Structure 1
Amino acid sequence: MYAIVDLETTGGQPAQDRITEIAVYIHDGEKIVDEYATLLNPGRSIPPFITQLTGITNDMVRDAPKFHEVARRVVEITEGCVFVAHNVRFDYSFLKKEFADLGYNYSRKTLCTVRLSRSLIPGQPSYSLGKLCQNIGIPLNGRHRAAGDAHATALLFGRLLGITQESEAGAPGTPTADTLAQVDALAPAGRRPEGPGGTKAPSPRRVAAVQEAIRTALLPPLVSPQLVASLPQATGVYYFHDEAGEVIYVGKSINIYKRIQQHFAVDVKSRKSLDFKNSIADITWELTGSELVALLYESHLIKQLKPAYNRAQRRSVFPAGIYLRTDEQGYKRLLYGKADARNAEIPIIALGNQYKAQGFLYHKVAKFNLCQKLCGLYKTQGACFDYQVHRCLGACVGEEAPEAYNARVDEAIDSITYEHQSFVVIGAGRTELEKTVVLVEHGRYLGFAYVDDTFTARKIGDFRDVIKTYTDNKDTQQIIRQYLRTKHKGEKVKVFA
């Protein structure tokens, strides 16, 4: 049995939006045998653009039941059924969230008619419900209303089941010949086995097609299970491509196969995340061997390619920074300012803009009890404000000795720099006969290389000669610092004076 479901909601994010209408059609594999539909009071105002899309107004739902009043009916009518929907993760995620708010774990096997349609009716110009139904002659009355969309999806589902029954094994878009052969072997040749009460059981080909659709329901519609099965269980970076071949997301993992499975298994949190999954048409990858190299290379690729669905680490220019200077009295002074490529002075850390640099420095002043005046955060000829409220120990007026003050400045610097100024991290390669090297010289990340396992170096210049150069920035500094705080089996750090 199959429960074909459609929902209308106040928006696209299950975490904050609510259901305004639900429709369920029960399909026995041959025909619709039961149905349920109702408006729901979402307990909040329906945005005007949603009303314009669905026609559902606040007045229409004011006296409608709330979800908790119909929850038992939804559980009962879908009990023992496969949950079917067009873009199933969207509807399923909303229902799971509504039930979770009631303290109930709603769980059903799922099947996506978008994915099944792409498999069994290839070559369509669009697989949106409205356009697909129009192109293959399925009536759709009441578009963007739950009952109308659910009924059309039920008719589409019936059409798809008919295709699986008529299709030949091995035809494009059908289950594989091996899968069908295994199922066909369960029934005598030339006839279908009888089901309960003498009814005809589903054809073996239909069973195989539906089981395959359930098994792959969590995958993006354009991604084949064969592609996912071919993913390596190894360390590296991976790329999600759209239908045009453009990279829309870059990620990294110590196990690419498991990480991508996690991408596809999570519930949809928003319309954007649904669009993201539906946009994925291909997956490629590059192995790195070393987790540190994967982290650094991912950061570089995000800055270089700027994929549409990567939010973090997209900034490639860092025009501000924190600098270290020593004044005539011997006090070390941390100052924020513009980063100028023409200036030979290298910042301790590069940041996105002067506002962020100022905020970063305020944080270090508070944490390490530094002087606002000496850090350029309080303009005055006398004592800084913190001295007046007894938070500054008096470096601004010469009451604290430079040696004592500078010790805390050094602690602040240590918190944002490496333990050693020049070093190499040597780690695993892509094969047993290879290793990776990541080079940091004078506190700046220079790049990484893959070298033969027999490679030896006596001086830092030997490593400099083999690496591919990459840009040093705030993100790479943070990646390396965090990585070095934890021990990694099989890796070593070679320090140079």
Structure 2
Amino acid sequence: MYAILDIETTGGQFNEEGITEIAIYKFDGHQIVDQFISLVNPEIPIQPFVVKLTGINNAMLRSAPKFYEVAKRIIEITTDCVLVAHNADFDYRILRTEFRRLGYDFNTKTLCTVELSKKLLPEQTSHSLGKLVRALGIPMADRHRASGDAMATVKLFKMLLDKDLEKEIIGSLIKSEIQKGIAPKLLDIVAGLPSKTGVYYIHNEEGKIIFIGKSRNIKKRVNQHFTGITKSAKKIQAEVFTVTYEETGNELIALIKEAQEIKINKPIYNRMARKNYFSWAIYSEKDNEGYLRLKLQKMDGRKKEILSYANTADGKNALFRITADYQLCQKLTGLYETKNHCFQHTINECDGACVGKISISEYNQRVQSFIDKNSFDNKNMIIIDRGRNVNERSAILVENGVYKGYAFYDLNYQINNAAILKNILIPMESNRDIQRIIQAYIRKNKALKLIHF
């Protein structure tokens, strides 16, 4: 659990500042579960430059509660939480100073989003809160007021959690929970998980990820791990300390994150999973006469496939559809073995490439049109899909055939070109596995909105 906060002060000499406003959002890694926002009477004058910056003046604070009147609420909302702030050293120092004046030792673990953003967003030219949120497309209201800055920090921190593919932030939180002796039972772990689409991470007592999976129902899938009787399930049950998760709203982002984060984190119990989900693929090659032939073959990493499939049945069914849709010949696509013409030619459903009635150039143009439509080479597109809630959508960017990353955005945003999307994108590495996942998903999900550019 995180307590994400921002504090406005009177300004003045070091350790003599007073708090004028405080905002704290209690955040469970997915959503805000509690909040506290209040003006505070510092009992000392505000520096003029601070009044100009924040808009908070001495008159506004005369009837505001003094710090000792809100201290109990601050302790309640921050207990057992990691304190998160943009420039956390400053906010933490101010809080500790105020509590010290009351004779109370306020002591908690902190995370600084300035330091995290420098590590996870090194490409950004500035890591100040205002410039960072503008560059990332994070909406912001009430700049230099505690509630506005704290809310912007919540949204920034959520994006940083998504960017942290090695799960160092979550891992450090789990380690602190272990030190406190919190060890939930399997039923308690399952009870805290959502029945939603996303990626889940099973951690051991050291906070290390031992398994990563994706599901359209996280709660149901994790429960299957905890009730399974296979050797791997038994090992997971014996070692699990906790399960964290990320909702993705749709299966495509879940599939991509699962594939990429398994490669990065190398969980011990994912090693038993299949190395390649796509074991069959369609390739093209020219025969001795010069005709382009499509062939369904076992996946060959040395060659570049057009489309890939999980098994031979899926591939063969697809090849039949492709042959019909593009008026190809079943003999030349390997679906009908014969030394003469194919059977489809006998019933006038093939116009004769198998016996040379169709010119090489005309037939090859049909094959090429299939290749051009389905190959990832030089493709530029944005894939719009469901978000994590009804007010949100997701977008995946493919540029020049390379997967660039994904983003979530509110419905009132207009994401219709790559330039806008790049401002809020969570960049991720591309590889052939990711390309295969995207191609397969597009084939199966016709309701997706595709923007080509």
- TM-score bracket for this pair, using the shorter chain length: 0.3 to 0.5
TM-score by length of 2: 0.42
Higher-Rg structure is 1
TM-score by length of 1: 0.39
